[in-house]
Chain A
Amino acid sequence: MNTGDARNPKLGVQAATKIYHTASGDLLALDRCSLDVSANEIVSIVGPSGCGKTTLLWSMSGLHSLTSGEIRLDGKTITGPHPDIGIVFQEANLLPWRNLDANIRFPFEIKGEKPDRAWIAHLLNRVGLDGFGGKFPRELSGGMQQRAAIVRALALKPSVLLMDEPFGALDSFTREEMNRLVEEIWLDTKTTIVFITHSIEEAIFLSDRVVVLSARPGRVAKEYRVPFARPRSLEIMATKEVFDLTNRIKMDIVGERTRPKAPERPSAEIVRIRP
């Protein structure tokens, strides 16, 4: 189904299973979830609230270990954070005590490397943040903060960019602007992007492929290709194909949520594992 080499995906998730041990019992967040992402592909992951999207992304980034299954980057299993994988977090996640320049320098400080100034200047210019380097996060709008976070993630030139509901807190106009920006950056860098979102429209506009996760425990329920050439214009959002696709995905997600509950499970929210 992939356009790329399906047997050698850029990023492969194989039978990923994740159990959280919480105070109220074990929580199965991901259940044998498998997903391949080809090089230069943009894949969005959507699904009902609490279905394990963020868990899946954190696992892909190596921030979380898996209970079973594995994540492969270029065919090699990853066990921890990898320099080739950049992450854009929810709500920008800038460090409030650092100005913009210092925030973007942060990854380099951690790694003990010299920042690539020309590349950072290029990125800042790309996202329209020229001359804002001395500003602190609280002085910037939500959209600007998230742009800075994108620059920070791309500064190390990762080959895979994981984005965890990056624009969820933004208003819809800013969000559309940011979506166009992500596409522009993709056209510029051809970075493989995995994008988690609540917004089906955003997923369709951005992605080559939309993956629908089932309700918890998360598994891949459906996959849809989005067959529009890039750069895309917002006009495609008004076409019948997009309208139909949106509705089908919506039904997938809503159907998941209203699926009849099995009577022997008192709590449908939490699936408990017997020890």
Chain B
Amino acid sequence: MSGGDAIPEFSKSKTGDGHEVSLTNLSAFASGPGIKSGKEVAAILAVAVIIIGGIELALRLFHVPLYIMPPPSSIAYALFDEFPLIAPHLGYTLVELVSGFTIGAIIGLVLAAVITQFPFAEKIVAPYILLLVTTPMLALVPLLILRFGFGYTPRIIAVALAAGPMVMINAATGFRRVDSAKIALARSYGASTLQIFWKIRAPMALPMILVGLMIGAIFGLLTAVGAEMVGGGFGLGNRLTTYSSMIQMPQFFAVVLILSTLGILIYVLFFLIGKKWASWEA
């Protein structure tokens, strides 16, 4: 009758009070002191101008050929000039990323929530999850193309396969952070298992879930672009192979610039969500 109880435990280090992980620890923004004045902004801009201008100057001074490294000004011009042509491809990539990520994240979250409730099942499943996390899903793309053709389907599946396990493994870490005192608190008011999940376990897991979603989204982007490079006539990845095969380096770098911007936007998005909803842990 009493076998299931754990010895009441309060020591901070073991309750998983949450000070060991935090979204903002991963953040380059949070580690900095924050921008305070117009002077600092001016200094940051000045350094950027010097670096970009320096590169421009050096490339022109040493007559570096365009196909090796185009100067920043020609990349900027290509970005401006070709954007109407690139924009639809950006749209295709976003469709693949958003739908694949959504599917993968939902499945990953549900699996993490369920599996952490059954520690024994978790032990059995763990190696396969690790396998899914460590296998580059890009490797499956040729196979998926054989089965599903050159449309959206193989790419969305690849993105979901890349993002899902990342979300799951991080969310599972979050759900495993059991704080027995907080669960006891809920139980002392007669909370059901479901109430304990939604009111204690889920909010405690939220910071790790956000980390998982961010990493999953970035892996999804990588996989989407990779899959587009493997086959099919559309998407930013396809633009990269097209431009490089035509030795249109300014256009090529314009696409690279768009991809880095996408990555940064994903990062900033989850950083802001974390700041709003998980800042209690910072």
Contacts and interface: CB of A to CB of B under 8 A. Distances in A.
A136 B278 CA distance: 12
B1 A97 contact: no
B8 interface: yes
B280 A96 contact: yes
A111 to B, nearest CB: 6
B214 to A, nearest CB: 19
| Chain B residues touching A, range | 20 to 34
Most chain A CB atoms below 10 A, which of B184, B188, B190, B203: B188
A63 B184 CA distance: 7
B14 interface: no
A95 B184 contact: no
A174 B175 CA distance: 35
A66 B191 contact: no
B275 interface: no
Interface stretch (A16-24, A119-127, A179-187, A232-240): A16-24
Contacts of A156: 189
Contacts of A111: 189-190
A132 interface: no
A29 interface: yes
Given A63-B188, A83-B190, A97 B206 contact: yes
B261 interface: no
Interface string B192-213: 0001000110011010000000
Interface string A91-124: 1010111000000001101110000000000000
Interface stretch (A32-40, A54-62, A217-225, A241-249): A54-62
A55 B6 CA distance: 10
A62 B206 CA distance: 30
B177 interface: no
26 contacts: A20-B2, A20-B5, A20-B6, A27-B7, A62-B188, A63-B187, A63-B188, A64-B2, A65-B2, A66-B1, A81-B189, A89-B10, A89-B181, A89-B185, A90-B181, A91-B10, A91-B181, A93-B181, A97-B204, A97-B206, A97-B278, A106-B185, A110-B186, A110-B189, A110-B190, A111-B190
